[in-house]
Amino acid sequence: MDGTPIRLTPAMSSRKLQALDLIKRYYLRHGSSPTLGEIAGGLGITRQRAHSLVRALERDQMVQRARGKTRGIMLANAAAQVSESDALLQLCEAGWTVRIGNMELVPPGTLTTTPLPAGPALDHKRDIERGSGGYGRDRKRRDGAEGARVDRAGEPAGA
């Protein structure tokens, strides 16, 4: 899996349950069963110990094994053998919104967008909006006179 052995938690009382948890998580991520070597590496144990744990899980009817197959471990509960991508696709088809980047699921019918905040009130300034960007006509003269037409050189138009 990611290289670090799985630690026992209060919910897991034995290595056998750790192995079962690893197998379930592997199914969710990859859609197939782990090999004995992957179980051993994930738990930080030998391959022989991983084999005995899988046999114990099979004896307790938590998993089933297809003998002679490298990835022949199957969970007794067939619903747990769905890959992560299959589960996400099924949720999308059922109307859920899946945000993979945020690792967020939004139920169907939930408002997913937030309204934009109202912008600030804008002041209307007549002198700024005159003309075409302040070039040429209807530009305020430097001497303070308004409304007179001037050419680009600043001289009165038509002179």
* Closest alpha carbon to 80 in 11, 29, 24: 24
Q: What is the pLDDT of residue 138?
A: 52
Number of H helices, E strands in the chain: 5, 4
Distance CA 110, CA 50 (A): 45
> At 48, is the pLDDT very low, low, confident or very high (cuts 50, 70, 90)?
very high
Which comes out higher in pLDDT, residue 18 or 154? 18
Q: For the beta carbon of residue 54, count every other beta carbon within 10 angstroms.
A: 23
Distance CA 138, CA 18 (A): 82
User: What pTM value is reported for the model?
Assistant: 0.47
* Residue 144: partners with Cβ closer than 8 Å, 6 or more residues away: none
The mean pLDDT of the chain is: 75
For the ranges 10-24, 28-42, 93-107, 132-146, which has the lowest average pLDDT?
132-146
